[in-house]
Structures are given as structure tokens and as C-alpha cells.
Amino acid sequence: MSQGFDIQIFNRRENRMEIEKVYGDRMVKFAYGTSIGRLLGPFIASKMLSQYYGKSQDTLKSAQKVPPFLKTFNIQIDQYEKGSFKENPIETSYQSFNEFFIRKFRQGQRTFTGNDHAMGAFAEARYFGHASMRDDLTVPVKGSMLRAIDLIGDRAVAEDFIGGPLMIARLCPVDYHRYHYPDDGKTLKAFTIPGDLHSVNPLALKYRQDIFIKNERRVSILETAHFGKLAYIEVGATCVGKIVQSFDESKSFNKGNEKGYFLFGGSTVVLCGEKGKWMPSEDMLNNTQAGVETYIQLGDVVAQSNRNST
């Protein structure tokens, strides 16, 4: 992590380092960096507060926030589909902030890699990657918080992923908030782990390092064609009103199919793999070692399979 409160990101597509502009950074600093904020922690991380705030983003009035939000964060809105008010300019086409928040890309704006042995980015996000989950990992949080058993919450299910590769994809409020399947396959089982709703922002992780195992999580165990079993973990966060599964999990999925989406708030998808089955991309591994996230567009390559093990 960079000095102070700056969050450094390596933008793979632009091939440059960038400083992230954080939505709600004052609130995050207050909640996790002050004694009063920490005292209020249980309330701030409560599901009740997040659901209340999430519902407020469903109102017609909340749509007024969209144009200034686009300007402040320089969002290329022409890449996305219009909202419910099709006759309006796209900036005013959304009937609520939540409808804008879960906007879809226009056809052809993003494509998944066609290489069967290259894993497509399952979210348009900031990625950390590790070749294996070990107790001595220090990025982005202490390794004991990144063990398969702690992330998945079921020892029997987690056995398959001990010592395997790991990726953490962090979505900010400014991002596309739908997440996708990284390969062809089927869902073996899925379950929810109740928990808190702390911020997943790196500023919060600096103060509280158990967030990924304390927050509410939705776990799907996937059997994939080229990458073995995957534990696909959607992590709730402060002001995430809901984690929605938009795909029928009783059916087989194809690479690039939409799996679900987060309603208002930044959040995270964690992907755990079986030992020796695949490896995160080299640039992601190198940047992670330096404490820097890699910003990767939806569908771009995030990992390579070990062809001898699949």
C-alpha cells in the first residue's frame, strides 16, 4: 500500500500507476480511524443500516445523484445501457441510483478471452492474487485471515482448497457491479454465511484485518471445465443493500455468463482454487508482492490453468 491514505492501483489496460479516488473516504476514515468511529463500529457494520441505506438508493430522488457522480469519477457512461427512461439522455435515464449502480455494459463493450486455458476476469475490479493460500501471507491482510477454512466457513468443503491459489477482486462504488463466471461448468453447492457488513476498502483493512472472514458471505462451489473446483465467494460490505444471484444455479453455466450483482456499495469477490490447478497472472502476482492492486477489465485474462492437472 502507498504512504498515507492514498491507494495505488496499477491499471493494466492503460499500463500505468494511478491513485484511486475513493467514494466516501471521509466516512471510512472516521469509522475505522477514530476512537468514536470504532465505538460506533457495530452499528456502522450492521445489516439494518446497510439495508436502510440501500433502500434509500431505490427512490426516484436518488437518481439526482447520478449526473454529478458521473462527473466526479469520470465514468465513461456511453459504454453502458440506458436505464428505464429510454427517451432521456443516458445521464438521466436511470430511475434510481441503484438502477444506475447495477447498469449493464452495452453489447460488445467487454469480451471474455477465447483461450480455454486462460481464466476470464469474473469482475471488472482491482485484483490481488496469490499462488497459494498460506498463513504467512501479508497482502492485503494477515495470512491467517486468508485461509480456506476461514473464508469458506465449512471445514469439509474447504479441504479441497487448502494451499491453493487465491484472487481477491475489489469492486468500488464507481465500478460495474455485476460479476460473472470465469469458465464453463456447474454449481455443486451454494450457501450463505451470516456476518457483519464492514467496509472492504483498503483504508478499512488497515485498521481491521479480519473483515473478509467476519463479513456476510455467499459461497458457491463450482466445478469448472479447465480450472478444477473453485470456491466463488461474494463478500458483503457496508451499504451493500443486497447480494443478488441472477443466474439459475441448477443449470450449467458458460464462461462469461452473468452470475449476479451487488446492490449499492463497493464489495468484493474472492476466488479460491485447488492446489496446482491454476496460477494468477504474472503481473497480478508481481503487483501483489509490491502491495499494489491490478485494475483489470471484465473478461481479460486473470489466470492460467496448469494443463497437466485438468
pLDDT (tens digit, 9 = 90+) per residue, 57-79? 889 999 999 999 999 999 999 99
What's the pLDDT band for 43 if we cut at 50, 70, 90? very low
| Angstrom distance (rounded) from CA 109 to CA 105 | 6
List, in order, residues 6 or more apart from 155 with CB less than 8 Å away. Answer: 149
Taking the whole predicted model, whether its pTM rises above 0.75 is answered as yes
| CA-based torsion, 104, 284, 128, 118: positive or negative | positive
Contact 217, 193 (CB under 8 A): yes
- Region of 164 on the Ramachandran plot (φ > 0 left; ψ -120 to 50 alpha; else beta): beta
List, in order, residues 6 or more apart from 107 with CB less than 8 Å away. Answer: none
pLDDT (tens digit, 9 = 90+) per residue, 194-221? 876 555 555 555 555 555 556 788 999 9
Nearest C-alpha neighbor of 301 from the set 55, 157, 120: 120
pLDDT at 1: 35
What's the pLDDT band for 4 if we cut at 50, 70, 90? very low
| Angstrom distance (rounded) from CA 149 to CA 187 | 19
Helix, strand, coil distribution of the chain in percent, nearest 5: 30, 25, 45
What the block records as the C-alpha cell of 27 is: 466516512
Residue 238: burial class (beta carbons within 10 Å; 0-12, 13-18, 19+): buried
When pLDDT is averaged across residues 31-37 and rounded to a whole number, the result is 62
- Pairing mode, if any, of strands 16-19 and 166-171? unpaired
pLDDT at 40: 56
Tell me how far apart the terminal alpha carbons of the chain are, to the nearest angstrom: 35
Given a cut of 50, whether residue 3 has pLDDT beyond it is: no
What's the pLDDT band for 31 if we cut at 50, 70, 90? low
